């Protein structure tokens, strides 16, 4: 059985003191949540504060990005080892905003995935089609290629242990959610792609999240679907009460 995983992507929100308050509130509100893994991904500057705030709770910490090199002259970048050092267990890789605004490609995503595993971080790799691609009927080809190229060269064990977030770009931050059937059918395609590349055992274990305007009032329907194992939540993860309701779907 796959343990559901709900992750909050805080994006470029929250100062250190705001992070401490939100993370503490969330840890308290989700203390009675059972059978679900909860991850928060604050900005880099607030990771250490978040780590301290959730200490002793079941809430885990993730980062929103990283570079693949271990150290060196890469001004402005953050190394995988620095994230582990700050208390992270997870790292989001290839979010569509990073692909769109910061030039990330399937190749950089692949390099980052390998570096994450080399540093004991579990990657949450984001894939998803744009509205134009959906309307052109190329969703399956686009997402299949993102999975294939992003996961290239991983071992079966790595493919089984990572998290794949299916996030249709047109649903992120727009209030438009994919229907639960549409979301599930792309998640099923992703699992079939993992099966083709790494075998059925890896495909059965890999956790696939849906992301895109997830809220307390649509999470239950999404989580009831066969191939959706969790959610990557942006806007709604910034409110402790709302996010804890999502966690307790
Ligand atoms: C996201 O940033 O990954 C996301 C899904 O955002 P939102 O929930 O706000 O659509």
Confidence tier at 219 by pLDDT (50, 70, 90): very high
Tokens of 200: 């059925």
Contact present, 118 and 80 (Cβ < 8 Å): yes
Out of 37, 51, 95, 104, the active site residue is 95
CATH number of the domain encompassing residue 228: 3.20.20.70
Å from CA of 40 to ligand 1 middle: 13
How many CB atoms are closer than 10 A to CB 192?
16
Six-digit token string for 163: 């998290």
Q: What is the ipTM of this complex?
A: 0.97
Q: How far is the CA of 235 from the centre of ligand 1 (A)?
A: 6
Does 225 show up as a binding residue in the annotation? no
User: What six digits make up the tokens of 57?
Assistant: 């709770």
pLDDT over 90 percentage in the chain? 98
How many domains does the chain contain in total?
Answer: 1
Is 14 known as a binding-site position? no
Pocket of ligand 1 (CB under 6 A): 9, 167, 172-173, 211-214, 232-236
C-alpha 183, offset from chain centre: 15
CA–CA gap between residue 120 and residue 81 (Å, rounded): 9
Half-sphere exposure (Cβ direction) of 154: Cα atoms closer than 13 Å: 31
Q: Which atom of ligand 1 is nearest to the CA of 11?
A: 2
Percentage, residues of the chain above pLDDT 70: 100
The domain in which residue 39 lies consists of 5-247
Residue 149 has what DSSP assignment? H
């Amino acid at each position: 059985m796959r343990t559901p995983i709900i992750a909050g992507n805080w994006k470029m929100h929250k100062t250190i003191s705001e992070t401490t308050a939100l993370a503490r509130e969330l840890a308290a509100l989700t203390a009675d949540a059972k059978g679900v893994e909860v991850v928060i991904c604050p900005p880099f500057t607030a990771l250490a504060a978040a780590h301290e705030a959730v200490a002793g709770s079941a809430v885990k910490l993730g980062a929103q990005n990283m570079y693949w090199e271990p150290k060196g002259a890469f001004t402005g970048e953050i190394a995988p080892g620095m994230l582990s050092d700050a208390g992270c267990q997870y790292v989001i890789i290839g979010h569509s905003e990073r692909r769109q605004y910061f030039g990330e490609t399937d190749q950089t995503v692949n390099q980052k995935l390998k570096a994450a595993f080399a540093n004991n971080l579990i990657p949450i790799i984001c894939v998803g089609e744009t509205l134009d691609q959906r309307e052109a009927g190329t969703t399956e080809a686009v997402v299949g290629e993102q999975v294939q190229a992003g996961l290239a060269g991983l071992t079966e064990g790595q493919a089984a242990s990572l998290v794949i977030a299916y996030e249709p770009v047109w649903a992120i931050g727009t209030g438009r959610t994919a229907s639960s059937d549409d979301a599930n059918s792309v998640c099923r395609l992703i699992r079939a792609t993992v099966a083709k590349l790494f075998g059925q055992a890896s495909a059965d274990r890999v956790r696939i999240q849906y992301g895109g305007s997830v809220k307390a009032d649509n999470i239950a329907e999404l989580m009831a679907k066969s191939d959706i194992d969790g959610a990557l939540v942006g806007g709604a993860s910034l409110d402790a009460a709302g996010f804890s309701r999502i966690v307790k779907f």
